[in-house]
Structure 1
Amino acid sequence: MMKELKEILNTVLREKTGYITFLTGAGISAESGLPTYRSIDGIWIKGTRYHRPEEFGTYRYFSQNQEEVWQYNLFWKKMIEEAKPNPGHLALTEIEKLLGSRFRLITQNVDGLHQEAGTKEVYEIHGSKHQVRCSKECSEPLEFPENVPAKEYTEDLMPEDIDHLKCRKCGNWLRPNTLWFDESYNEKNYYFNTSYGIADHTDILFVIGTSGSTALPVGIVETVKIRAQWIVLINPESDTYFDAILKGSKTLYSIRESSSVALPQLGNIIEEILK
């Protein structure tokens, strides 16, 4: 299968000039120990102790239960701090060096592992757990307060934690700089227009470790599909929404491997072609 992909990439790299774009989801970080969202053991399948995620993961719920939501997010902070980039993340960093200005990486992930691995051109379309912003939108996003520690899920917020999680400008609660279920994509925080612009100029799109359950990633894939450009699915699962909407496409190529296996191989192919 990699021989056929090499032929496709050879054409793209030598005869075209558009972007070589990578769209990543939670699957690429699963091998770093971070749970995915919609797998059998995923966060959004299990929910929290008391609520389904479509209720809990909303601005509406946060506006009434700030301490509970922050307790959950400080547990997420702990998981992220313990996670390290895996071979898939590192391979993308090397691929970026090989492709230069043609490389684009759009990620649904909020963990920052792509940047930790050294990748520069990263568009976080669901935001970042490494940032906060005022819940009343009175200021720009800020880096996560250094004096608010990560916690176990059972640990309560301390008074000093609450103080540091308040906006210094207006006094309202800070919130995670991430997209919730009852919010819409926009350009300012989530690169909505930028993502479609990238899709419009993409020659080959690699879709890695994502099931296609959110609107903007689906829009990106459908845009590339309409333009009849190559789409490569890298995912050990074969029953995702992307598999369904791309079924029968003549420009679809599937790799049923984990990203930590497939991406280093892909990097080797690109390096060989560009020699």
Structure 2
Amino acid sequence: MTLEEARAALHTARRVAVLTGAGVSAESGIPTFRDAQTGHWARFRPEDLASPGAYRRDPNMVWEWYAGRYRDVTRAQPNKAHHLLALLEREKGDGFFLATQNVDGLHARAGSERLVELHGNLSTARCEACGTVAPLPAPDTFTPPPTCPLCGSRMRPNIVWFGEFLPELALEAATRAFQEAEVALIVGTSGQVYPAAGLALETRRAGGVVIEVNPDETELTSSLTHSVRDVASKGLAALMGEA
């Protein structure tokens, strides 16, 4: 499939599903999960900061790290890739679905609404006792850990950690959307983290077209219909004729 054919397939498709990863937010200055461990945090492995075991051992340390990431993403702004996907949603209407592995909330801030955040969101916390999810205070007034507005118990970051399952309803909705999609876009993700990476294969098995936007070859490349070798904003602009 050529770029022109990929562009035509996206243009005519009534049902489009999109999976995004860290490469989409990189252009907003947000480091990938592993790149975020710099300075004081460079001596920690990801598992030291993002697992249930780490939180049980030292919840204050884990919250300190997440509070820093929360401040960083609050300062960041959606980039052209986020805005192009919001535009694509407006064009496709109910036939559009976006699943993101990112936890920065930038898709929603750019206007995306038909959206699931598979790995959670840095701007919210979840009660350890009753499960209530609530927004965090503004970064300049936030002192972790937060307490539940309903029961007063301690809250944890509302993030899917190593060893935890993705939210069941979100994953079911994403799987269904990719199974039904005529065209799926896989944007800025390495294809290494499952089960999210398997969504692309749901579309392929159903006979749909799967287009990757990534400057590098990924674990999924050989199984997909077409690859656009560029950063998210430029690759999406080329596919959508918005360059």
TM-score normalized by structure 1? 0.80
Task: Say which one has the larger Rg.
Answer: 1
RMSD of Structure 2 on Structure 1 (CA): 2.3
* Alpha-carbon distance in structure 1 between the residues aligned to 2:140 and 2:164: 26
Cross-structure match for 1:193: 172
* Alpha-carbon distance in structure 2 between the residues aligned to 1:267 and 1:97: 13
Partner secondary structure for residue 241 of structure 1 = coil
Cross-structure match for 1:132: 125
Alignment partner for residue 109 of structure 1, among 92, 102, 120? 102
Question: Displacement of 1:266 after TM fit?
Answer: 2.6
Question: Displacement of 1:47 after TM fit?
Answer: 9.7
Cross-structure match for 1:75: 68
- Number of residue equivalences: 241
Residues 77 and 149 (structure 1), Cα distance of their counterparts in 2 relative to 1, 3 Å cut: farther
Cross-structure match for 1:178: 159
8 Å contact from structure 1 (residues 94, 267) kept in 2: no
8 Å contact from structure 1 (residues 209, 235) kept in 2: yes
* Alpha-carbon distance in structure 2 between the residues aligned to 1:110 and 1:45: 19
Question: Displacement of 1:23 after TM fit?
Answer: 0.6
Residues 34 and 265 (structure 1), Cα distance of their counterparts in 2 relative to 1, 3 Å cut: same
Identity %: 29
* Alpha-carbon distance in structure 1 between the residues aligned to 2:192 and 2:151: 36
Residues 108 and 185 (structure 1), Cα distance of their counterparts in 2 relative to 1, 3 Å cut: same
1:221 aligns with 2:200: yes
8 Å contact from structure 2 (residues 122, 157) kept in 1: yes
1:87 aligns with 2:88: no
Gaps of 5+ in 1: 151-160, 270-275
Question: Displacement of 1:122 after TM fit?
Answer: 1.1
* Alpha-carbon distance in structure 2 between the residues aligned to 1:125 and 1:261: 25
Alignment partner for residue 233 of structure 1, among 203, 212, 218? 212
Question: Displacement of 1:113 after TM fit?
Answer: 0.5
8 Å contact from structure 1 (residues 134, 173) kept in 2: yes
Question: Displacement of 1:94 after TM fit?
Answer: 1.1
8 Å contact from structure 1 (residues 66, 173) kept in 2: no
Partner secondary structure for residue 210 of structure 1 = coil
* Alpha-carbon distance in structure 2 between the residues aligned to 1:231 and 1:96: 17
8 Å contact from structure 1 (residues 47, 53) kept in 2: no
Instruction: Provide Cα deviations, 1:97-134, integer angstroms capped at 9, x if missing partner.
Output: 11111111110111011111111111101111111111
Residues 178 and 254 (structure 1), Cα distance of their counterparts in 2 relative to 1, 3 Å cut: same
Instruction: Provide Cα deviations, 1:217-274, integer angstroms capped at 9, x if missing partner.
Output: 1221221222231110100011x2222xxx2x4x6100001111122233337xxxxx
* Alpha-carbon distance in structure 2 between the residues aligned to 1:118 and 1:237: 28
1:63 aligns with 2:56: yes
* Alpha-carbon distance in structure 2 between the residues aligned to 1:86 and 1:235: 16
Gaps of 5+ in 2: none
* Alpha-carbon distance in structure 1 between the residues aligned to 2:30 and 2:138: 22
TM-score normalized by structure 2? 0.90
Equivalent positions of 1:1-275 (< 5 A) are 1-9=2-10, 12-13=12-13, 17=14, 19-37=15-33, 42-43=35-36, 48-136=41-129, 138-146=130-138, 149=141, 161-162=143-144, 165-187=146-168, 191-238=170-217, 240-243=218-221, 247=222, 249=223, 252-268=225-241
